[in-house]
Amino acid sequence: MRRLAGLVAGGDVVVLSGAGLSTESGIPDYRGETGRRRRAEPMTYQTFTGSEAARRRYWARSHLGWRHVARARPNAGHRAVAELQRRGLLAGIITQNVDGLQQAAGADRVIELHGALDRVVCLSCGRRSPRARLDARLRAANPGFEARADAINPDGDAVLSDEAAAAFRVVDCERCGGPLKPDVVFFGENVPPARVRDCYALTEGAGALLVLGSSLTVLSGYRFVRHAARHGVPVAIVNRGATRGDEHALVTLDAPLGATLTALLDEPVR
């Protein structure tokens, strides 16, 4: 903790957060303990765009899952990151999460690497609109839709039976009638290049890169750890369990995020 506190106290820290930061808010992860219990299979971009039936299944499940995500509240870890930013110690925040909880905790200037669930985008005309508007339209189109979700995935996709999903009615873009998609990067889809460039620039100019709650299994986040190491930027990782980036880290902590980050705020620097 003292070494971690020393890095953070130097300022210009860039935070890279993953799903493990939100598990204490009741949102499961893919690869940590909650993910292993559920063995979730995420929707891919190719499946979503290539099949009307797949989009119906997704939206039926997401319609219920969104209620769970929308009720979630920031936890101690989110609040600690926002406090570090308030103290002027952070150069920026990159989150792989799509739940908006970091901003809800009071942080700003957050790069949402994988987008956000509280927006939807039309695949035909590109129009973006609030998820709350879509939620109201789906409720009106599916009165009495009372299917129970068996589990909730971190992207807000609930697990439902095929029979329940098949009865769901999907609504399309109000402007052009095109298919709607949550404004998030699905598995198999590329992060917008400009967003990636912004993250690279932020990382290489950092005083330190602080990874929070990410196994770094997928390249989307791991590449920034490698980029930091190549530019001589010290890396610190706080996560439950080992990560793909541990070999690049100056400091690693296998510890709960909320308690660790809260303690970090009061850690004396030596």
2-266 placed in CATH 3.40.50.1220 = yes
Give the per-residue pLDDT at 269.
Answer: 53
Furthest CA-CA distance within the chain: 62
215 belongs to an annotated ligand binding site: yes
176 belongs to an annotated ligand binding site: yes
Q: Are 90 and 13 in contact (CB under 8 A)?
A: yes
* pLDDT digits 0-9 by tens, 192-207: 999 999 999 999 999 9
> How, if at all, do strands 115-122 and 180-184 pair?
antiparallel
Tell me the pLDDT band of 151, cut-offs 50, 70 and 90: low
Pick the closest to residue 153 from 29, 18, 26 (CA basis). 29
Instruction: List beta partners, residue 152.
Output: 158
122 belongs to an annotated ligand binding site: yes
Higher pLDDT, 65 or 84: 84
213 belongs to an annotated ligand binding site: yes
Give the per-residue pLDDT at 37.
Answer: 44
Tell me the pLDDT band of 148, cut-offs 50, 70 and 90: low
Higher pLDDT, 33 or 215: 215
Give the per-residue pLDDT at 129.
Answer: 97
Rounded mean pLDDT, 149-160: 69
d(CA 196, CA 223): 10
Pick the closest to residue 255 from 39, 24, 40 (CA basis). 24
Active site residues per annotation: 114
- Asked which of 105-109, 147-151, 212-216, 223-227 is least confident by mean pLDDT, the reply is 147-151
Q: Are 249 and 239 in contact (CB under 8 A)?
A: no
The rounded percent of the chain whose pLDDT value lies above 90 is 82
Rounded mean pLDDT, 212-229: 97
